[in-house]
Chains A and B, each alone.
Chain A
Amino acid sequence: MKRRLRDAPAAVLMLGASLTLLGVWTIYPLIRAIQTGHLSCDQTGRKCTEKGWGQYLDVFQSKQFQDALMVSVKLAVMTVPIGLLLGIGLAVLADKHLRGIGFFRTVFSSTVATSVAVASLVWFVLLQPEIGVLSDLFSDWIPALKNPGLLRDPDTALPAVALSSIWASLGFTFIVITAGLQSVPKELYESAYVDGAGSFRRFTNVTLPMLSPSILFISVVLTTRALQTYGEVALLTGGGPEPEKSTTTIPYLIYGRNSIISGNIGLKSAAAVLLFLISLVFALVQFRGFEKRVHYGN
């Protein structure tokens, strides 16, 4: 105990820089957002009235929030499993010791260096009904590509956003899974091979369990990212197409130019705090759900 007290000033000094950063950019804004969530303000943002905790419930129960929540969850359901499967698949393929595989590793991981804005722009052009390459190539099979265009059809707009999002996250998934694969001791595969395990069994009995910490990590990160999707929506669809608002995610409801609550900082804060809680619940559920099946090795 004495020793701890003696070390305290040094500890505070060493933690100071991180604590300051965390305080100024995370903890203080979070507290302010929770406070602001109680208020209801007019368009100017100057006149605000105190609405109390009840406002959180009102926002949560509103149709706009529920619709946006649905969109965000759908987006997560579309992007997380496909993103994970593609990332694992490419990483396993690229883990082979073949000539020139380094080139493909670079290609597969390249999207990590691509910002959401650039990725969205690329997909916006690709999917553009009049001049887009994809609509020229595949419109015979998928007529919606030309008319009205995937991003303009209320049924296909969200999957199109998901496509862009999956592509943009693939590099990150690929890198993390590749790192996970490279940390698996070679003898485990050799031992399984000598014991008679075929390539499928080696994958399910050695590769997947050894990758489980990486997979859980990626899954939580991708889910959180999906729930926070804003840039793709703002650049590709503007939350539309109207009037269905079929791509208005919660972050777009909060920040979006066309959002119905765009002028009300109180409601926006309340929605943001709710999004934080929802993301937390999703992350906790995943940790709890996979805890038993994740093996952190020796």
Chain B
Amino acid sequence: MILLGPSGCGKSTLLRMVAGLEDPTSGDVFIGDRRVNDVEPKLRDIAMVFQSYALYPHMTVAENIEFPLKVRGVAKAERAAAALKAADVLGLTDYMKRKPGQLSGGQRQRVALARAIVRDPAVFLMDEPLSNLDAKLRGDTRAELVDLHRRLDSTFIYVTHDQVEAMTMGSRVAVLNAGQLEQVGTPQDVYDHPASTFVAQFIGTPPMNLLQPGQLGSSDVRVGVRPEHLLIAAAGELEGTVRQVEHLGHEVLLLTESPAGRLTARVAPHADLPIVGETVRFDVAPHHLHRFDAVTGVRVP
């Protein structure tokens, strides 16, 4: 489960309530069938990976990984074996004697993960664990986390503001905005059937085009259309003046101005592309139109 939303939407707070680091002012938190509002974090069968990794700088990698077991009074030999196993899963066995200060960002991140999996918890809680890594490492680690999730076969709750992480990693995505749950669903479902204008514009790059009310339908709905569904057609219903042409190699983005508002179209890179200043007409298949209430922004059938 991915908790996705802009900064300050409450996704981290939600995660911390599941962890037991914050008390909900109202409502219940269930893990499995068990209500855990009054259960201490250590009895909730969870493990948490922090954005800053929260490794203990004075302990070696091995000691860091063993720490949750040591706290639980697990015998030393058993502890070491479990830590080695967790370290092996994440390729850390060569670094067991090092201190976190002697590791790279990616390695520290793995230590934090190893410290979580050594517990074998029912739920993993991850608070933006990739945001401190550079782009290349983030991509690699993303794939590893997906793989880890499949292998461990347990629940991950993963907080991010990065829609690419949400789309690529999530079995389900919960989109949050200003403390409100906007939509829950599979990434594809959320992309194909956004429940509100917020979701429609938050997910997808570039975001969905939202036309002014009154276009392509009755006056009390706003119509949205994804950039890839705007097809250049001489007899199209929508007309726009090209302001900018962005060549991305595998595709081209046409940024246009129209009476209905700004329209961005994603088209294939071919020879006879319109140039800046030219007027183009777009057509949209009816089943690719999204309709939202003009006032509330909620999806209407």
Q: Which residues of A contact B (CB under 8 A)?
A: 185, 187-188, 190-197, 201, 205-206, 209-210, 212, 295, 297-298
Determine the main DSSP class of A at the interface with B.
helix
B46 touches A210 (CB 8 A): no
A209 touches B56 (CB 8 A): yes
B52 touches A187 (CB 8 A): yes
Would you call B57 an interface residue if the criterion is a C-beta within 8 Å of the partner chain's C-beta atoms? yes
Instruction: Choose from A187, A196, A209, A298 the contact partner of B71 (Cβ within 8 Å).
Output: A196
Instruction: Please name the residue on chain A nearest to B52 by beta carbon.
Output: A187
A205 touches B56 (CB 8 A): yes
B41 touches A194 (CB 8 A): yes
In whole angstroms, what is the CA distance A205 to B71 when docked? 10
In whole angstroms, what is the CA distance A22 to B285 when docked? 84
In whole angstroms, what is the CA distance A201 to B72 when docked? 11
A187 touches B42 (CB 8 A): no
Instruction: Choose from B50, B72, B100 the contact partner of A298 (Cβ within 8 Å).
Output: B100
In whole angstroms, what is the CA distance A69 to B67 when docked? 45
Contact with A along B53-81 (1 / 0, CB 8 A): 01011100000000110011000000000
Give the distance to chain B from A98, nearest Cβ to Cβ, in Å: 18
- Measured between beta carbons, the chain B residues less than 8 angstroms from A193 are 21, 41-42
User: Which residues in chain B, 113-169, are within 8 Å of chain A measured between CB atoms?
Assistant: 115, 119
- Measured between beta carbons, the chain A residues less than 8 angstroms from B47 are 194-195
Interface size of B as a range: 20 to 34
A-B contact pairs, 18 of them (CB 8 A): A185-B52, A187-B52, A187-B54, A190-B21, A190-B54, A191-B50, A193-B41, A194-B41, A194-B48, A195-B119, A197-B67, A209-B58, A210-B57, A210-B58, A212-B58, A295-B57, A298-B57, A298-B101
Q: Known contacts A194-B47, A196-B71: does B58 contact A295 (CB below 8 Å)?
A: yes
- Measured between beta carbons, the chain A residues less than 8 angstroms from B119 are 195
Instruction: Please name the residue on chain A nearest to B41 by beta carbon.
Output: A194
In whole angstroms, what is the CA distance A185 to B20 when docked? 18
B54 touches A185 (CB 8 A): yes
Instruction: Please name the residue on chain A nearest to B19 by beta carbon.
Output: A194
- Measured between beta carbons, the chain B residues less than 8 angstroms from A195 are 42, 47, 67-68, 71, 115, 119
In whole angstroms, what is the CA distance A205 to B115 when docked? 16
In whole angstroms, what is the CA distance A193 to B101 when docked? 22
Give the distance to chain A from B246, nearest Cβ to Cβ, in Å: 40
User: Which residues in chain B, 1-26, are within 8 Å of chain A measured between CB atoms?
Assistant: 19-21
- Measured between beta carbons, the chain A residues less than 8 angstroms from B19 are 194
Instruction: Please name the residue on chain B nearest to A298 by beta carbon.
Output: B101
In whole angstroms, what is the CA distance A194 to B67 when docked? 11
B58 touches A194 (CB 8 A): no
- Measured between beta carbons, the chain A residues less than 8 angstroms from B71 are 192, 195-197, 201
